């Protein structure tokens, strides 16, 4: 090869290298600007900017309910019940009782177990715990998406046990005791209020809804007295709050997302193959195998910027008035994430505002209105004819901002929210059959008292 040819090759090689360096520099500057703009938008909106801002402060042992809850759980998990520990076994029996699928023999077993020393002591610890002012579980927040949240599973079982215990107490004629147990269940459902993870708030929502359903059913067996109603109403008010859900979105960003984007390639690789996080890690690995953007700083920074922008928009949507189009907007927001942003695509999943915020609010407010109607009957001997008589004019339907629908019906009442479609369907509840054409729309969120069947 002659010198002229070598010189030409070196010249064009140099041009290519310089061109690539210039392109890289331009992309790096551009992605840095995009990332800075995403952070600036968050700061302008008043969102927390440091992990320390969302991590719950430490709580003195004497005020921390979590310590008592853990004692209760350890007691139940230490006892065996066949192939399961007592917590799992009792939780399954309780779940079947609440769904109406428990056979007589199993019901006998459940009643017997509820009277054992182990369960009595465990539930006594829970009852003592709900009297404490704060609750903070000991979590290793430095592990980001690898933070172990093993307590979430046993919280669900404990709530089911408390609700089942309340039902059995009421059916045995111990109405006052049953309502005390159910009040404990409601306060216990709030144990995760300060935990800044979306999955924790999902569990909190599920346990709250389960307890509210038990409250409505228990009213048919033995309605609470006025003092109990006042206490329950006060607790329910505390659940009508967007704060924990917004904090969870900030926690998702600062504790999980930032950890992944700032981690070293090896740490990110180890996380991808960890079974401890709650992300679609198989999808992540496939994305990493198909693409290399996470190894290229400009695209990694752009991926990070997109992640922050999508999460910011999702957070903003949670605090806006509900619209039936919200679900479509949420899906479009996530569907628009570019293919070359693999971390964003796998870290985030659509957050349903109707499930997280609006639906629970409707159920809480319906329950508060129903309790007020029962309290009115205790005072006046009849149910009120209209909603105004309840004195709850500020208790509006979160789906449309208008008063909840209410009417007396013979010896009972009907109170309901218009639900997702914002249409008044006359108090028609959602059908259980998913094949029913009215399953997706054409129904309301309803409490009819008395219902067709108590728990």
Q: Is 182 exposed, middle or buried (0-12, 13-18, 19+ CB in 10 A)?
A: buried
- In angstroms, the CA 26 to CA 20 distance is 10
**What count of Cα atoms within 13 Å lies in the side-chain half-sphere of residue 366?**
29
Q: Which residue has the higher pLDDT, 346 or 362?
A: 362
Q: Of 219, 148, 141, 203, give the one whose Cα is nearest residue 453.
A: 219
Q: Provide the whole-model pTM.
A: 0.86
- In angstroms, the CA 436 to CA 430 distance is 9
pLDDT, residue 306, reads 93
Write out pLDDT tens, residues 407-419.
Answer: 988 889 999 999 8
Would strands 80-81 and 84-85 be described as parallel, antiparallel, or unpaired?
antiparallel
Query: Which residue is it, tokens 């997706």?
Result: 440
pLDDT, residue 270, reads 62
pLDDT, residue 272, reads 57
pLDDT band at 268 (very low <50, low <70, confident <90, very high): low
Write out pLDDT tens, residues 127-168.
Answer: 999 999 899 999 999 888 888 888 898 899 999 999 999 999
Mean pLDDT within 391-418: 89
Say whether pLDDT at 448 is over 80. yes
pLDDT, residue 266, reads 64
pLDDT, residue 295, reads 61
Say if residues 201 and 195 touch (Cβ distance below 8 Å): yes
- In angstroms, the CA 70 to CA 122 distance is 9
Say if residues 179 and 227 touch (Cβ distance below 8 Å): no
Distance of CA 285 to CAs 97, 272, 292, Å? 42, 7, 11
- In angstroms, the CA 261 to CA 274 distance is 16
- In angstroms, the CA 33 to CA 27 distance is 10
Say whether pLDDT at 279 is over 50. no
pLDDT band at 406 (very low <50, low <70, confident <90, very high): very high
What tokens appear for 399 in the block?
């789906």
CA angle 427, 360, 281 (to 5 degrees): 125
Least confident segment among 327-331, 347-351, 410-414: 347-351
Say whether pLDDT at 11 is over 90. no
Mention every residue, 6+ apart, whose C-beta is less than 8 A from residue 264.
none
Say if residues 31 and 299 touch (Cβ distance below 8 Å): yes
Buried b (16+ CB within 10 A) or exposed e, 323-347: eeebeeebeebeeebeebbbbbbbb
Say whether pLDDT at 104 is over 60. yes
Say whether pLDDT at 437 is over 90. no
Peptide bond into 450 cis (omega under 30): yes
pLDDT, residue 289, reads 42
Mention every residue, 6+ apart, whose C-beta is less than 8 A from residue 214.
98, 163, 166, 167, 182, 185, 455
Say whether pLDDT at 338 is over 70. yes
């Amino acid at each position: 090869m002659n010198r002229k040819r070598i010189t030409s090759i070196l010249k064009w090689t140099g041009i290519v290298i310089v061109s690539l360096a210039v392109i890289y520099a331009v992309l790096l500057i551009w992605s840095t600007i995009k990332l800075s703009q995403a952070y600036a938008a968050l700061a302008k909106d008043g969102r927390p900017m440091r992990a320390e801002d969302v991590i719950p402060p430490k709580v003195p042992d004497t005020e921390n309910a979590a310590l008592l809850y853990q004692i209760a759980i350890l007691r139940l998990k230490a006892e065996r019940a066949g192939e399961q520990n007592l917590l799992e076994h009792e939780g399954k029996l309780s779940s079947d009782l609440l769904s109406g699928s428990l056979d007589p023999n199993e019901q006998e077993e459940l009643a017997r177990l509820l009277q054992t020393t182990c369960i009595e002591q465990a539930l006594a610890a829970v009852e003592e715990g709900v009297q404490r002012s704060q609750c903070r579980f000991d979590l290793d927040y430095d592990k980001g998406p690898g933070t172990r949240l093993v307590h979430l599973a046993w919280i669900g079982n404990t709530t089911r046990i408390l609700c089942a215990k309340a039902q059995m107490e009421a059916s045995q004629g111990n109405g006052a005791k049953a309502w005390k147990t159910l009040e404990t269940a409601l306060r216990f459902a709030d144990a995760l209020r300060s935990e800044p993870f979306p999955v924790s708030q999902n569990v909190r929502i599920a346990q709250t809804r389960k307890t509210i359903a038990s409250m409505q059913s228990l009213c048919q067996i033995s309605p609470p007295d006025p003092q109990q109603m006042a206490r329950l109403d006060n607790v329910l008010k505390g659940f009508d709050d967007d704060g924990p859900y917004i904090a969870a979105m900030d926690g998702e960003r600062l504790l999980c997302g930032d950890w992944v984007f700032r981690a070293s390639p090896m740490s990110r690789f180890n996380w991808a193959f960890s079974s401890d996080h709650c992300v679609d890690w198989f999808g992540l690995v496939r994305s990493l195998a198909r693409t290399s953007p996470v190894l290229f700083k400009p695209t990694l920074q752009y991926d990070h910027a997109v992640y922050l922008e999508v999460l910011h928009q999702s957070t903003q949507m949670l605090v806006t008035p509900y619209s039936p189009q919200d679900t479509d907007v949420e899906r479009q927001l996530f569907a628009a994430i570019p293919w070359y942003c693999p971390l964003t695509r796998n870290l985030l999943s659509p957050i349903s505002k109707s499930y997280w915020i609006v639906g629970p609010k409707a159920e809480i407010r319906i329950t508060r209105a129903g309790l007020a109607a029962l309290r009115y009957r205790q005072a006046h001997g009849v149910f009120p004819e209209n909603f105004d008589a309840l004195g709850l004019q500020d208790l509006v339907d979160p789906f449309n901002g208008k008063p909840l629908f209410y009417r007396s019906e013979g010896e009972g009442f009907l109170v309901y929210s218009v639900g997702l479609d914002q249409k008044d369907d006359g108090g028609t509840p959602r059908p259980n059959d998913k094949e029913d054409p009215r399953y997706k729309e054409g129904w309301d969120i309803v409490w009819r008292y008395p219902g067709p069947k108590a728990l």
